Amino acid sequence: MIPETLFLFAPSGEGGSSGMTIFFVQMLAIVAIFYFLIIRPKTQQEKKHRERLADIKKGDRIVTVGGIVGEVVHMKDDELTVKSGESRLVVQRDRVANILSDKSERS
């Protein structure tokens, strides 16, 4: 770096370290706010979605990520066979966007 630029980063005679302390406290506060407002709610939402995907059973009406609405007629570990109209489709379990209703709610 240029020596003149390094001079700008040199600590001042008095109170130089307190300025850095305030800076680090502010940065820590920004990171904490970012975590609690953005990252944590997103991870909680993803966890809840994974739990709902694990609870899918035959007879549930689902919506896929592509917008296809259908009823689950067969299941494997990571694949679902969905009946939509007269068609049957095989979709991956993680491609389910929403569960509209399940068999127990309709009875």
98 or 102: whose pLDDT is higher? 98
Within-domain flag for 4: no
Whole-Å CA distances, 2 to 9, 20, 45: 11, 22, 49
Q: Is residue 2 part of a domain?
A: no
Q: Is 1 domain-assigned?
A: no
- Which residues have C-beta within 8 Å of that of residue 93, sequence separation ≥ 6? 53, 56, 77, 78, 79, 80
Residue 80: give the domain boundaries: 57-106
CATH of the domain at 73: 2.30.30.100
**DSSP secondary structure letters along 47-86:** HHHHHHHHT--TT-EEEETT--EEEEEEE-SSEEEEEETT
Q: Structure pTM?
A: 0.64
Residues 47 and 64 in one domain: no
Total number of domains constituting the chain: 2
Residues 68 and 85 in one domain: yes
Query: 62 and 101 in one domain?
Result: yes
The pLDDT value given to residue 90? 96
Q: Higher model confidence: residue 14 or residue 71?
A: 71
Task: Please enumerate in sequence order all residues whose Cβ is within 8 A of that of 88, keeping only pairs 6 or more positions apart, or say none.
Answer: 73, 81, 82
Are 65 and 94 members of one domain?
Answer: yes
Q: Is residue 61 part of a domain?
A: yes
Instruction: Give percent of the chain above pLDDT 90.
Output: 71
Dump pLDDT digits (tens) for 28-56. Answer: 999 999 999 999 999 999 999 999 999 99
5 domain-assigned? no
45 and 20 share one domain: yes
Q: Is 63 found in the same domain as 99?
A: yes
Question: DSSP label at 12?
Answer: P
